[in-house]
Amino acid sequence: LAALTFMVWYFFGPEPSLSYALINAVAVLIIACPCAMGLATPTSIMVGTGRGAELGVLFRKGEALQRLKETKVAAVDKTGTLTEGKPALTDFQVTDGFEEHEVLRLVASAEAKSEHPIAHAIVQAAQQRQIALADVDAFDSITGAGIQAQVGGQQLHIGADRLMQNLGLNTDIFAGTAAALGEQGKTPLYVAIDQKLAAIIAVADPIKETTFSAIQALHDQGIKVAMITGDNRHTAEAIAKQLGIDTVIAEVLPEEKVQAVQQLQKEYGCTAFVGDGINDAPALAQADVGLAIGTGTDIAMEAADVVLMSGNLQAVPTAIGLSAATMNNIRQNLFWAFIYNAALIPVAAGVLYPFFGLLLSPILAAAAMALSSVFVVSNALRLKGYQPTWMKQREG
């Protein structure tokens, strides 16, 4: 365009045509300088990710900042994400022929070898009752089902109803109890001693105070919420009902979480998965955007695209809202930079001269070009004032 401007003024312009041609060609070249276009995207991303860090949201990948705003469904793990991750033993019922104190001693002794939060709750309950633990001769974890151990010459199996079914034990005697516990949002576990059903245990993990408002904020953003958990369906649906969760995928083994995420992707589209444990890592990698709770494991954070520094689930709608705000800001910057150049290039080329005798000085063109860059940077800096909706409501 600068070359075309030079030729038009040189061959068809008034005298001194060379001076007019040079001045107008330089003005066009300055106005067309793509500084604003080059600044439009990186400045917004830089300010957006910086504001995210201030709000406890770390974007490990730039792509996540773009994809999050497209989220249709947010899938969340239950333990440690929706809940405190600090369960407590609430119920303990034994079958005929077994004594509660002795069963709890054996169970707590076996669970002391496990690192699962539920195991800690059982051990803590035994300690509070001043029950001395026995030595464990053998211990093995059964992925997604429970544990088995040899304690004092007795064989113990502790876990979900699927574990009892695998052992060929009938749990119908506790069917009513298990259903009632599940409706209360408690997780029932069964105990088998020497291949005999001995007890049912209930563990409750309190829901985080911030979980309710976080799910409401996601719904306000038009995003569905799904819960993926290994808990039995009664417990999962009871918790989902309390929280207003749209979809429940329960009784999922760790290796099946990836399939659950794929199912949501097929049904809804862009899926974000929020988790904190080692067994959440494959699902975090499978999701369109994986968000790891910063209080969780290093493996989960390594597999995620976004790290939420606190255990506060409100950081999820914050991250999605910030993503939308940043992408809107980028579009504003690109629109301004393009329209600004498109509008002023003809002026710099001298389109107003035949009508008004006006030409744009290269000095003014340089000032206008700088103004465009200043505008783009200033608009990007507005993101520093971004506040999530839930924070505004709290302040209001």
Which residues are part of the catalytic machinery? 77
CA angle 22, 28, 33 (to 5 degrees): 125
Query: HEC states along 167-234?
Result: CCCCCHHHHHHHHHHHHCCCEEEEEEECCEEEEEEEEECCECHHHHHHHHHHHHCCCEEEEECCCCHH
230/203 Cα distance (integer angstroms): 14
CB 316 within 8 A of CB 291: yes
Within 13 Å and on the Cβ side, how many CA atoms surround 293?
23
CB 305 within 8 A of CB 60: yes
Task: Quote the tokens at residue 96.
Answer: 């005929």
The pair phi, psi for residue 157, each rounded to 5°, is -130, 125
164/255 Cα distance (integer angstroms): 20
Which of 241, 238, 219, 212 is CA-nearest to residue 313? 212
Which of 149, 167, 142, 164 is CA-nearest to residue 107? 149
Which of 183, 207, 192, 227 is CA-nearest to residue 87? 207
| DSSP H stretches of helix in the chain | 2-12, 17-31, 35-54, 62-67, 100-111, 117-128, 161-166, 175-183, 209-220, 233-243, 257-268, 281-286, 298-303, 315-349, 353-356, 362-381, 389-395
Indicate the angle between helix axes 233-243 and 209-220, nearest 10 degrees.
Answer: 70
| DSSP H stretches of helix in 55-116 | 62-67, 100-111
The pair phi, psi for residue 229, each rounded to 5°, is -150, 155
186/184 Cα distance (integer angstroms): 6
The pair phi, psi for residue 387, each rounded to 5°, is -130, 130
